[in-house]
């Protein structure tokens, strides 16, 4: 058991292989306090770290300064309105309009395994994998219980957190805030690391000193968003890829979120993550429960690299599910950048015939196959095949593609509705909108109110009917706008504040149904590229389209930020045409292949129109993918050099778990005159074994390559790259 309770000291200790998380109870009122989180320590009484023997002392000893105590005590899950003037983790409004809530310890339970979260994605583990502490807090006046779930993984430095709120009283209570995680700790001059960006510039790494006050990242767009990412890390000033302490938190949720670090007057840090309170208000009737999403907490004392590999192992083994969990994905070609809306059956088959002969394994038909969809101005919601374009019907097309030895995939956008659609004309009230206001369009579309069961059922049946009609083995699930004008024609006035969260729950329900009815289908989530690339989506789809920006140079930074948390097998990455459709930049075809290899690998171009020399390289790239994908999908990832930092070159490495082989991807973005070779220092090798680089006759000791380094000669020209493959000999 990795969790113990010391009754004498009233402390709980949660241990992982390299970390300890300790909390305890203080005073007669049993305030739940945070004591320690960091490197693993042995069993000892560390309750003194809560500073209860210092002024302002415990309320039972000094009630005249109760406010001062509450405003400085390291609360494990702080309430609000009672004297702690830092950010509260839970907010309420009673029937009488009062907002103070003070959760205190009631009871606890410790057991092996990990509970599921009703209606929500979450990491999973067996009784052999992890142990769970349920810490029950209560506000006796409000008859409100808060069950804090802590799960410690036995083989990973991971602790997951979530909370369930229960109304045990006789009157309704309105929840205005429910954070999934709160943790108080002393500030040691941390840097705050976050992932930010915009459409086509997702997940750029940002690192700033943590100062006094509240510093946060968050989204109120209805999705986790391109602009902000549900991730935050606190790192020591000297922390880099190999050294230093890092505390990181990631949210298993796909809607509005807030991740925040607050430094108070005493230099303490309060780290929080949860559903963003803006626009959130949940009515909790007597006897009802509210389940908050899960937050994943990772600790590393070996820098950002160890943090990354911990996240990768957790998500590969305890979040991603289904047929493709541990399986190589088919090499696909998507027709979007090849044809946009201008295609028919014969054009698709022309692409498929050429692609099949080159080693491509799946054709994906993107937007434009349904309703009267000739542009992005209509027909969303009308999920019936347009047989004027898809002559002979969908089954004929799929069968013809299958005859070529290829799988078939399809694009869908189930969450949306076009004002110019048969569905909207029949059910205008099915769109999210505020009565009396002209709704704001984005991409000329509105969002369906999936919180209504009849809407969800209708859309699922429309989509499922298409998927049942032919041998479809892949779905690209897109979402091309964010939420606003939040209003539901079905929810009562005092529940309109629930719409954001109910919408996310409905999306999860749709994807649950789809993956259960069609377990053979490879689902790839997409939100205008990477606008909803989060752990919640990974629970349903083993891969997510990383960004609509397919330019290989831009992808270096996008994929670096994404891979800081998510396994390479989750990153949708394609070789696209040049000049790039978004930037106009031209990058050598080989380099585009090297960059896309660090992901799921596929093509986004018209294979019938690209130059012959590029077309002839596709079989080589397909062979490259098949040779290295098992290693890339399962190995340990190391960031060797960052183009985002040095502005000249990029280098990453994947090493097999048993250290038997390794692949280094080196991309020279900018060439330089009169410049010597660059020296790189590899990682993840056995220092006492010898390795041979493919194409070379000599061998190197592992410690030589890791500590003395390897020289990589400069290339002539910009945007050049190479793979360095090493095998133990």
What tens digit of pLDDT does each residue of 41-72 get? Answer: 999 999 999 999 999 988 889 889 899 999 99
User: Residue 326 falls within a domain, yes or no?
Assistant: no
Of 125-129, 320-324, 670-674, minimum mean pLDDT range: 670-674
User: Residue 323 falls within a domain, yes or no?
Assistant: no
Cβ atoms of residues 133 and 147 within 8 Å: no
Query: What's the pLDDT band for 329 if we cut at 50, 70, 90?
Result: very high
Domain end, chosen from 607, 634, 661, is at 634
User: Residue 125 falls within a domain, yes or no?
Assistant: yes
CA distance 255 to 280: 11
Cβ atoms of residues 280 and 221 within 8 Å: no
Please report the DSSP string for 512-559 in residue order: HHHHHH-TTSEEEE-BTTBTT-SHHHHTT-SEEE--S---HHHHHHHH
Tell me how many degrees the CA angle 722-728-729 measures, rounded to the nearest 5: 120
**348 in the same domain as 484:** yes
pLDDT in tens, 288-302: 999 999 999 999 999
Q: What percent of the chain has pLDDT over 90?
A: 97
Domain end, chosen from 583, 609, 634, is at 634
What dihedral angle (degrees, nearest 10) is formed by the CA atoms of 245, 247, 248, 252?
A: 150
What dihedral angle (degrees, nearest 10) is formed by the CA atoms of 625, 604, 474, 510?
A: 130
**81 in the same domain as 32:** yes
pLDDT in tens, 698-727: 999 999 999 999 999 999 899 999 999 999
**647 in the same domain as 604:** no
Residues written for the chain: 729
- E strand or H helix at 131: strand 130-139
Any idea what the CATH number is for the domain that residue 290 is in? 2.70.98.60
Average pLDDT of the segment spanning 611-636? 97
Is residue 674 scored above 90 in pLDDT? no
What pTM value is reported for the model?
0.97
**510 in the same domain as 410:** yes
Domain end, chosen from 634, 664, 685, is at 634
- E strand or H helix at 627: helix 618-634
Please identify every residue annotated as catalytic: 478, 548
User: Residue 413 falls within a domain, yes or no?
Assistant: yes
Q: What percent of the chain has pLDDT over 70?
A: 100
Give the range of the structural domain holding residue 295, as residue numbers without chain letter. 3-318
Give the residue carrying structure tokens 């409100």: 144
pLDDT in tens, 453-475: 999 999 999 999 999 999 999 99
**313 in the same domain as 338:** no
- How many domains does the chain fold into? 3
Any idea what the CATH number is for the domain that residue 677 is in? 2.60.40.1180
**673 in the same domain as 549:** no
pLDDT at 466: 98
pLDDT in tens, 193-225: 999 999 999 999 999 999 999 999 999 999 999
Residue 69, phi then psi, degrees to nearest 5: -65, -50
Mean pLDDT of the chain: 97
Average pLDDT of the segment spanning 18-23? 98
pLDDT in tens, 339-376: 999 999 999 999 999 999 999 999 999 999 999 999 99
**282 in the same domain as 341:** no
Question: Tokens standing for 592?
Answer: 């585009």
Give the residue carrying structure tokens 């109304």: 167
Any idea what the CATH number is for the domain that residue 408 is in? 3.20.20.70
Please report the DSSP string for 393-410 in residue order: -HHHHHHHHHHTT-EEEE
pLDDT in tens, 144-181: 999 999 999 999 999 999 999 999 999 999 999 999 99
Residue 390, phi then psi, degrees to nearest 5: -95, 75
CA distance 585 to 595: 15
User: Residue 506 falls within a domain, yes or no?
Assistant: yes
CA distance 546 to 563: 10
**719 in the same domain as 621:** no
pLDDT at 59: 87
Q: What is the 3-state secondary structure (H, E, C) of 469-492?
A: CCCCCEEEECCCCCCCCCCCCCCC
pLDDT in tens, 387-438: 999 999 999 999 999 999 999 999 999 999 999 999 999 999 999 999 999 9
Give the residue carrying structure tokens 């991730």: 231
**464 in the same domain as 418:** yes
**665 in the same domain as 583:** no
pLDDT at 300: 98
**675 in the same domain as 556:** no
**151 in the same domain as 24:** yes
User: Residue 394 falls within a domain, yes or no?
Assistant: yes
User: Residue 327 falls within a domain, yes or no?
Assistant: no
User: Residue 465 falls within a domain, yes or no?
Assistant: yes
Radius of gyration for the chain, computed over Cα atoms and rounded to the nearest angstrom: 27
């Amino acid at each position: 058991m990795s969790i113990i309770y010391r009754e004498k000291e009233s402390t709980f200790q949660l241990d992982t292989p390299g970390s300890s998380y300790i909390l305890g109870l203080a005073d007669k009122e049993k305030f739940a306090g945070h004591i320690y989180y960091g490197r693993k320590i042995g069993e000892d009484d560390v309750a003194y770290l809560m500073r209860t023997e210092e002024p302002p002392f415990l309320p039972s000893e000094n009630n005249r300064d109760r406010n001062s105590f509450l405003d400085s005590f390291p609360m494990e899950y702080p309430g609000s309105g009672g004297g702690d003037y830092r950010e509260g983790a839970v907010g309420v409004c009673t029937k009488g309009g009062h907002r103070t809530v003070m959760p205190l310890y009631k009871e606890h339970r410790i057991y092996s395994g990990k509970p599921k979260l009703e209606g929500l994605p979450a990491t999973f583990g067996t009784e052999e994998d992890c142990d769970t502490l349920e810490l029950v807090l209560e506000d006796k006046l409000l008859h409100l219980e808060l069950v804090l779930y802590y799960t410690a993984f036995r083989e990973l430095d991971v602790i997951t957190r979530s909370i369930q709120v229960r109304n045990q009283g006789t009157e309704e209570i309105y929840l205005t805030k429910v954070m999934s995680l709160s943790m108080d700790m002393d500030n040691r001059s941390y840097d705050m690391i976050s992932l930010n960006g915009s459409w086509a510039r997702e997940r750029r790494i940002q690192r700033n000193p943590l100062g006094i006050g509240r510093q946060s990242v968050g989204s109120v767009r209805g999705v986790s968003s391109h602009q902000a990412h549900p991730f935050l890390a606190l790192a020591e000033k000297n922390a880099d890829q190999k050294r230093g302490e890092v505390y990181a938190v990631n949210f298993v949720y796909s809607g509005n979120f807030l991740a925040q670090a607050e430094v108070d007057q005493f230099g303490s840090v309060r780290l929080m993550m949860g559903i963003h309170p803006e626009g959130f208000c949940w009515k909790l009737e007597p006897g009802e429960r509210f389940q908050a999403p899960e937050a994943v907490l990772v600790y590393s004392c070996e820098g950002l690299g160890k943090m990354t590999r911990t996240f990768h192992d957790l998500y590969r083994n305890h979040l991603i599910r289904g047929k493709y969990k541990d399986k190589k994905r088919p090499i696909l070609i998507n027709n979007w950048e090849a044809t946009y809306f201008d295609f028919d059956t014969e054009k698709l088959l022309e692409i498929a015939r050429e692609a099949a002969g080159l080693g491509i394994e799946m054709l994906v038909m993107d937007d434009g196959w349904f309703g009267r969809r000739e542009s992005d101005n209509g027909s969303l919601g009308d999920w019936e095949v347009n047989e004027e374009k898809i002559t002979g019907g969908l089954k004929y097309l799929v069968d013809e593609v299958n005859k070529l030895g290829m799988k078939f995939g399809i694009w869908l956008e189930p969450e949306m509705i076009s004002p110019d659609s048969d569905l909207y004309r029949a059910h205008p009230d099915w769109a999210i909108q505020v009565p009396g206001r002209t709704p704001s369009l984005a991409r000329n579309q509105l969002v369906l109110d999936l919180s209504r069961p009849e809407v969800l059922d209708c859309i699922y049946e429309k989509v499922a009917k298409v998927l049942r009609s032919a041998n479809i083995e892949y779905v690209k699930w897109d979402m091309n706008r964010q939420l606003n004008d939040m209003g539901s024609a079905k929810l009562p006035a005092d529940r309109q504040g629930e719409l954001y969260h109910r919408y996310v729950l409905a999306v999860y329900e749709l994807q649950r149904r789809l993956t259960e009815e069609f377990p053979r289908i490879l689902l790839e989530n997409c939100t205008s590229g990477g606008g909803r690339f989060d752990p919640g989506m990974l629970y349903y789809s083993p891969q997510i389209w990383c960004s609509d920006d397919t330019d290989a140079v831009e992808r270096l930074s996008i994929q670096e930020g994404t891979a800081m948390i998510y396994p390479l097998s989750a990153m949708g990455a394609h070789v696209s045409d040049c000049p790039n459709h978004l930037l106009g930049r031209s990058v050598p075809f080989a380099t585009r292949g090297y960059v896309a290899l660090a992901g799921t690998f596929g093509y986004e171009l018209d294979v019938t129109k690209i130059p012959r020399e590029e077309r002839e390289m596709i079989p080589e790239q397909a062979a490259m993918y098949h040779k290295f994908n098992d290693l890339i999908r399962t190995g340990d990832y190391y960031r060797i050099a960052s183009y985002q930092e040095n502005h000249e070159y990029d280098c990453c490495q994947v090493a097999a778990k048993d250290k038997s082989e390794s692949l280094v991807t080196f991309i020279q973005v900018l060439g330089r005159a009169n410049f010597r070779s660059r020296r790189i220092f590899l990682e993840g090798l056995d220092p006492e074994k010898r390795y041979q680089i493919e194409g070379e006759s000599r061998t190197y000791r592992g410690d030589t390559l890791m500590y003395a380094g390897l020289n990589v000669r400069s290339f002539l020209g910009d945007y050049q790259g190479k793979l360095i493959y090493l095998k133990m000999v």
